[in-house]
Amino acid sequence: MKRERNSGIWDFELGIQAEGEGQDLILGLDGGTTSTVCICMPIFDFDDDCVPPDPPPVLARAIAGCSNHNSVGETAAKDTLEHVMADALSKSGSTRSSVRAVCLAVSGVNHPSDQERILSWLREIFPDDVKCFVHNDAVAAMASGTMGKLHGCVLIAGTGTIAYGYTEDGREARASGAGPVLGDWGSGYGIAAMALTSVIRAYDGRGPQTLLTSRILHQLELSSPDELIGWTYADPSWARIAALVPIVVSCAEAGDEVANSILLDAVQELASSVKAVVCRLKLCGEDGKESCPLVMVGGVLEANRKWDIGKEVISCVSKEFPKMVPIRPKVEPAVGAALLAWNFLKKQS
């Protein structure tokens, strides 16, 4: 077994090894700015006509915090990734010797150099015969809606946002996903940041009064808008800001024009990201009339509110690409990551 970079993380393996190894496994991991999820999935048949079970079996699931190195730094991100993989294996009663493939899909992986650094690190942890894959988290999100196949467009809108597209011949393109400083408008962070800005503008007299003021102050237990400055910069983490999105939605549903305008702007931004990717890859054909899946993932797009951001995005995109087929995945992105690895192993079998 490979080196023990973090003392104690893999100690659980000693007892399991004494009892003998279990079935072959795949680790699928979805790492985001808010949380990181790792699942253990058993390897099922590789027959030519075999398709993944629906839903795929999951032996164990573990969850941890942020693993985006742009948010928490590379050392903390790797610690989170290693802990959550070890936790999932421990819960499954298995060790690294049972793992045949690992697929990490992590936000913040935006360049081949990011992939290579994480791949080199993974190879230090797992046995040499383990197949290791590293992608942006959008890849796992796509696979969660297509059962491990990469074709179409995926829109993620959670704390951050990104649109990714894939063609059957392996071409890919992306839009947004550059982080809050460079304008992830339409994301949870972007929506909440605009709401906070609107409260300050109203307080200064530079913008219209808004229900957002009383609702946000009540939620944060603050007495005045000027206290928002201290609250915001005391811990400007992306997820902490994005957690205010439900307040913006509730204010819009109550008829607040400022909140409604923020959400309408978010819809336009999210739709423009999708349309940019679809156009670049011609996913709907030269005339825009061909069918193409649009996988939609993330808390901002959840269809459980009267003001349904996801539904509005679909409506906006469909005006230009009428045969886009929206898909809301039945499995989580970590399972999608595992299915990606399974499909690769199937091709190699």
pLDDT at 33: 79
Residue 69 in any domain: the answer is: yes
Residue 49's pLDDT is 64
Q: What is the CA radius of gyration of the chain?
A: 22
- Same domain for 117 and 229, yes or no, is no
Residue with tokens 């294996």: 89
Indicate if 202 and 301 belong to the same structural domain: yes
Sheet holding 131-135, edge to edge: 60-64, 36-42, 25-31, 99-106, 131-135
Q: How many domains does the chain have?
A: 2
Angle between helices 188-204 and 227-234 (to 10 degrees): 150
Identify the CATH number of the domain in which residue 220 sits.
3.30.420.40
185 and 137 within one domain: no
Give the C-alpha separation, 40 to 60, whole Å. 5
Cβ(212)–Cβ(195) under 8 Å? yes
Question: What is the DSSP annotation of 63-107?
Answer: EES---HHHH-HHHHHHHHHHHHHHHHHHHT--GGGEEEEEEEET
Q: Judge whether 337 lies within some domain.
A: yes
Q: Does residue 27 form part of some domain? A: yes
pLDDT beneath 70, residues of the chain: 1-7, 17-22, 46-50, 303-304
The reply to whether 173 falls in a domain is: no
**In the structure encoding, which two tokens stand for residue 316, read together?**
């906006």
Domain co-membership, 209 together with 320: yes
Q: How far apart are CA 154 and CA 157, in angstroms?
A: 10
Query: What is the separation of C-alpha 315 from the centre of its chain, rounded to a whole number of angstroms?
Result: 23
Beta-strand relationship, 131-135 and 60-64: unpaired
pLDDT of residue 17: 61
Give the integer Cα–Cα distance in Å for 18 and 114.
Answer: 37
Residue 302, exposed/middle/buried by CB under 10 A (0-12, 13-18, 19+)? Answer: middle
Q: Are residues 28 and 108 located together in one domain of the fold?
A: yes
Residue range of the domain that includes 133: 13-150+332-348
Q: Are residues 220 and 125 in the same domain?
A: no
Domain presence at residue 19: yes
Residue 191 sits in the same domain as residue 261: yes
Query: Is 6 domain-assigned?
Result: no
Cα 3 from Cα 16, distance rounded (Å): 18
Shared-domain flag, residues 188 and 278: yes
Rounded CA-CA distance 29/105 in Å is 6
Residue 274 lies in a domain: yes
pTM listed for this prediction: 0.80
Q: Are residues 207 and 292 in the same domain?
A: yes
Q: Exposed, middle or buried: residue 313 (CB in 10 Å: 0-12, 13-18, 19+)?
A: buried
Residue 238 has what pLDDT? 85
pLDDT score for 243: 94
CA distances (Å), origin 166, targets 169, 173, 288: 8, 7, 16
Is the omega angle on the peptide bond into residue 55 within 30 degrees of 0, that is, cis?
yes
DSSP 309: H
One domain for residues 140 and 228: no
Q: Give the H or E element holding residue 14.
A: helix 13-19
Residue 170 lies in a domain: no
| Alpha helices in 107-224, H assignment, sequence order | 112-125, 137-146, 188-204, 212-220
Query: What are the DSSP E strand ranges found in the chain?
Result: 25-31, 36-42, 60-64, 99-106, 131-135, 152-157, 161-166, 172-176, 292-297, 324-327
Q: Are residues 103 and 121 in the same domain?
A: yes
- β-strands 131-135, 99-106 pairing: parallel
Residues 94 and 114 in one domain: yes
What are the tokens at 35? Answer: 């949380």
